[in-house]
Amino acid sequence: MSAEEFQLEVLPINQKLYYFALRFLRSAADAEDAVQDVFVKLWNIRDKLSTYNSIEAFAYTVTRNHCLDKLKAKRTYSIEDTMRVEPGQANATPAQRTEDLEKLALVKQIIGELPEQQRMVIQLRDIDECTYEEIAEMLDMQLNAVRVNLSRARKKVRDEIAKIYNYETTGN
C-alpha cells in the first residue's frame, strides 16, 4: 500500500480508534498516544494491510491489544481522569445545574464501577453510538455476548439510579 493509499484508507479511521482507545484508557492524552503508536504499527506493515479483509477490523484488534498492554503496564489507572464534571446546560437555573451535575457525576461513577466488558459495551453503544456489529468486532466478542452484556449494563445503571433517588421501577 502506497503512502497515498494509506492516507486515504487508513488515516481517516483515527477518530474511531481514538474513541475506542479512550474507552480502555480513560484518558484523552493516553488515548491519543495509543492511537499514534497504533498508526506507527500499521504504517510499518502497510505492505501487508491489503491482505486483510477489513483493515478497520484489524486496526481495532491492534488498538485493543495495544491498550491492554498499556493497562497491564499501568495497573493502577485512575478513573478520576474521566470523572471530571463539566458545566451543564447554560440556560438551566443554578439549582438545576447543581442537581444535573450531581447526577452526571453519579452516572459516570455507576458506569465506572461496572464489570469491564459491560462498561466497554455500554460506553461504545450508548455514548459512542457504535452498532452491535462494530462492538462485536472491536471487542472480539460474539454478537449475542454483546447484547447480553449491554442488557445487563443498562439495567444495572437504571436500577442504581432508581435506588439512589428512590424512584419506583418497572423492574423488567
Stretches 72-80, 90-98, 156-164: which one binds other proteins (CB under 8 A)?
A: 156-164
Q: How far apart are CA 89 and CA 117, in angstroms?
A: 31
User: Which lies closer to other proteins via its Cβ, residue 75 or residue 82?
Assistant: 82
- Find cell 499501568 and name the residue: 74
User: Which lies closer to other proteins via its Cβ, residue 79 or residue 148?
Assistant: 148
> Which of 3, 73, 90, 95 is in the footprint of other proteins by CB under 8 A?
3
Angle between helical axes of 55-73 and 28-44 (0-180°, round to 10) = 130
> Which of 51, 52, 131, 133 is in the footprint of other proteins by CB under 8 A?
131
- Find cell 484523552 and name the residue: 28
User: Which lies closer to other proteins via its Cβ, residue 9 or residue 108?
Assistant: 108
Integer-rounded Cα radius of gyration of the chain: 19
Residue closest to 138 by CA, chosen among 1, 12, 22, 11: 22
Is 20 an interacting residue with respect to other proteins (CB under 8 A)? no
> Which of 47, 54, 75, 86 is in the footprint of other proteins by CB under 8 A?
86
Contacts of 14 (CB under 8 A, 6+ apart): 35, 39
- Give the up-direction half-sphere exposure of residue 134: CA atoms within 13 A in the CB hemisphere: 14
> Which of 1, 120, 138, 150 is in the footprint of other proteins by CB under 8 A?
150
Is 39 an interacting residue with respect to other proteins (CB under 8 A)? yes
Contacts of 37 (CB under 8 A, 6+ apart): 66
C-alpha cell at 5: 493509499
| Contact positions vs other proteins (CB under 8 A) | 3, 6-7, 11-12, 14-15, 18-19, 22, 28, 31-32, 35-36, 39-41, 43-45, 61, 65, 86, 88, 100, 103-104, 107-108, 111, 117, 126-129, 131-132, 140, 142-148, 150-152, 154-155, 157-159, 161-162, 165, 167-172
